[in-house]
Amino acid sequence: METHFTEEMMQTSRGSCCARVYRGESLLVPPPVVLHLHGGSFVGESVAAGEKVANALAAAGAVVVSPDYSSACLNPFPAAIEAAYSMLSSMRSRCPQFAHRKSMLFVAGEEAGGNIAAGLALMARDQFLTDLKGQILLSPLLDPCLATPSFRKFCPQSSVQSIAEGWQQYLGEGSGLTHPYAAPGHCTRLGGLVPALVITSEECPMRDETEAYARRLREAGVPVELHVLVGRAAWIPANTAAQDNWPAQERIISGLFSRFFQAAGAKPVKQ
């Protein structure tokens, strides 16, 4: 299914930023609106870095708003998550503009964007932002220790230093390491969060921390779907060797996205 995007300016309480708005050929009813946060190891990758996941979300029947929040990523925590929360808050009133007044709001992200998406779900719970209906986390960076067996086994040596430096830059010299919004993998209070769709792959460096987070969410009473794909995740920029896997993975994850949206109440268009 073909998707396309337009570029728009998002106005938030913290200023404005450019965003890509993706739409597919067929939308669910009402179309879910997804704030999508691209990856980049906290080092300010451009919005284009997330186009694979954004296209897959749009192909699942959602309207996807993918902001260029790279400048916020270049500043220590909490700059990026505060910018993202401002975007999420402003999107509540803009659902009719993007899709439909009854559209449900979701947050999604891969890698570093998955970290911020998980942090946003925690923040939305604590700030009583009840409009958020679900979180979609793909291979999220959740644990700054970088010491899990899957990370040691599957992270290319060329990427270890950049990810470590990205974490260091993001956490800064303050208390980021101990803050649950900055390192959700260390959060001890997970009850009351919105349902989660969590996806990783067998040969993903973040597989262990992703699976651990999904397990702890489930133990806290949060509805969770966990899926571990075969091989390597092709949506992670560093996994250039896995790019040939992307067409098959896109079909799989787009189907998972669609079912997740429908479980929340969206419906397919009647033929």
pLDDT in tens, 35-72: 999 988 887 677 888 899 999 999 999 999 999 887 77
Q: Does residue 145 register a pLDDT over 70?
A: yes
Sheet holding 3-12, edge to edge: 3-12, 15-24, 63-67, 33-37, 105-110, 132-138, 196-201, 224-229
Q: How confident is the model at residue 94 (pLDDT cuts 50, 70, 90)?
A: confident
Average confidence (pLDDT) over 127-148: 95
Residue 163 CA to residue 236 CA, distance in Å, equals 12
The dihedrals phi and psi of 262, each to the nearest 5 degrees, come to -70, -35
More confident site: 108 or 70: 108
Mean pLDDT of 123-141: 96
Residue 7: predicted pLDDT: 85
205 neighbors 177 (Cβ within 8 angstroms): no
pLDDT higher than 80, residue 239: no
Over range 132-136, report the average pLDDT.
97
Average pLDDT over the chain, rounded to an integer: 90
Residue 34 dihedral angles phi and psi, to the nearest 5°: -115, 125
Percent share of the chain, pLDDT over 90: 65
Per-residue confidence (pLDDT) for residue 224, from 0 to 100: 98
Report the pLDDT value the prediction gives residue 13, as an integer from 0 to 100.
64
Instruction: State the Cα–Cα distance between residues 232 and 196, nearest whole angstrom.
Output: 21
Q: Is it true that domain 3-263 has CATH number 3.40.50.300?
A: no
Q: Is residue 15 predicted with pLDDT exceeding 70?
A: no
Q: How confident is the model at residue 240 (pLDDT cuts 50, 70, 90)?
A: low
Average pLDDT of the segment spanning 194-211: 97
Confidence bin at 127 (pLDDT 50/70/90): very high
Confidence check: pLDDT of 233 > 70: yes
What is the mean predicted confidence (pLDDT) over 217-240? 88
Tokens read off for 48 = 């284009």
